[in-house]
Amino acid sequence: MSDNDFEIVRGSGNLYADLGDPDADTRQMKAQLAAEIIAALDRRKLTVRDGEKLTGITAADLSRIRNADLGRFTIDRLVRVLNALDRHVTVKVTPMPKRSKEQAAAST
C-alpha cells in the first residue's frame, strides 16, 4: 500500500457524529462532562474513594466514568458530580451546519 491509497477526511469534532451515531450530540456531551470530572479528580489528586465522599457518587460509578462507561449516566447526573467538585457547567447551542444533498439522502 502506498500513501496514495488513503483518503484524508477532516472530522467534524464529534467522533460520534462522524460515525453516524443518532445520539451523537448526547454522547459527545457526556464524554466532555466525564473528561471534566476526571480532570477535576486528577487536579485534586482524589482517589475514587475520596471522590465518593465528596460527590456522593459511588466509587464504582466514578470508576465507570474514568473508564468512559457512560451508558448508565444522564447528563444532569454528570453535571451534579461536576457541581460537587466545584465546577460550573455552561451549555452553548449553535445552529447545525447545512448538510450536503448526499448527507441528507444518507440519513433517510
- pLDDT for the residue numbered 105: 57
Query: pTM of whole model > 0.75?
Result: yes
Is the residue at 49 inside a domain?
yes
- pLDDT for the residue numbered 5: 81
Give the model confidence (pLDDT) of 59-70 as tens digits.
999 999 999 999
Give the model confidence (pLDDT) of 70-84 as tens digits.
999 999 999 999 999
Is the residue at 12 inside a domain?
no
Domain count, the chain: 1
Radius of gyration, alpha carbons of the chain = 18
User: The domain spanning residue 30 has which CATH number?
Assistant: 1.10.260.40
CA distance from start to end of the chain: 35
Band of residue 12 on the pLDDT scale cut at 50, 70, 90: confident
Structural domain of residue 77, as residue ranges? 22-91
Is the residue at 50 inside a domain?
yes
